[in-house]
Homo-oligomer: A and B are copies of this chain.
């Protein structure tokens, strides 16, 4: 006899009463409630998760699926830790646990997720690294599991997502660069089928159009998230017959490589080539001259995700207005010295 039964025997009352007391339900006198709480704390008792989940039909935990691609994702984890913290801060207040589910490099992301939802390990799912067309969204919608995605996708319809305002970043950047006299502005795009690549490119095209600038596909560079990638594209840009005078980076870390290559060539960031990065992560923030980029609170993004999740959980209805929420996190410009007037 273990668990609640032992506790009940110890107190000389029934398991039902103990359970009610622990869960703060009615039909229990304050006196017994107190006794039970005290005994539980003293014996270090906590209700068995499996039994509780089975009886209630709910696990009280939310899964956050991430991917472990060592090539590209390895450095974006920087990103996730901040988000996790934000998610946690909200979930714990509602008695929910956060379980991070790291999909191994060798496994298919769809099947990995499928197993977890089919077995009912979590009550809700948070998805990251959304692809342009992402079957996981369709899966979750069809089985009816509450979910929120960090990043948009063209799959599914009418679901909750939180994403960075890439359009805003592109518009602000291009406006700024154009105002500085730039006419040929290069762009780096993420390798792979992540959705924000398409978003970034579309925003870029429409911004050019808005300014009456010509779109030149040779000014777009697909890169992985690495310093090396930045190093390489400098030469590629220079080799063009009409080299760009500015570049907008989807992976700000590339700035490090660009700086180094420019230095080797005797060129100066902000003078010979204007550079605008996406996010002001610490490493980039430390560069000299400082990189013009954008600031966003990762924690706030996490909070928004958690709130969007709570809005979908029946057990927590009322805490947040129900319904789908789709939110773009604003990125605030942090003007640095890596961009300046265009030189011809």
Question: Known: A50-B120, A54-B48, A115-B46. Is A84-B102 also a contact (CB below 8 A)?
Answer: yes
**Residue A228 is within 8 A (CB to CB) of chain B in the complex:** yes
Q: Tell me which residues across on chain B come within 8 A of A283, comparing CB atoms.
A: 227, 253, 256, 283
- A:98-133 near B, CB below 8 Å: 98-102, 104-107, 114-116, 118-121
Task: Check A282–B47 contact: CB distance below 8 A.
Answer: no
- Give A38-69 interface residues, CB cut-off 8 Å to B: 44-54, 59, 68
Query: In the complex, which residues of chain B have a beta carbon less than 8 angstroms from the beta carbon of A257?
Result: 286
Supply 6 A–B pairs (Cβ within 8 Å), ascending by A: A44-B114, A54-B54, A84-B104, A85-B105, A92-B107, A227-B282
**A205 interface residue, CB < 8 Å from B?**
no
Known: A82-B74, A256-B283, A286-B227. A104 touches B118 (CB 8 A): no
A298 to chain B, nearest CB (A): 8
Q: Which of B45, B118, B299 contacts A45 (CB 8 A)?
A: B118
Chain B residues near A260 (CB, 8 Å)? 286, 288
Verify if A159 is at the interface (C-beta below 8 Å from B).
no
B residues near A50, Cβ cutoff 8 Å: 49-51, 53-54, 59, 120
A220 to B181, CA, bound (A): 50
For A231, list chain B residues within 8 Å (CB).
286
CB distance from A268 to the nearest CB of B (A): 14
For residue A191, CB closer than 8 A to chain B, the reply is: no
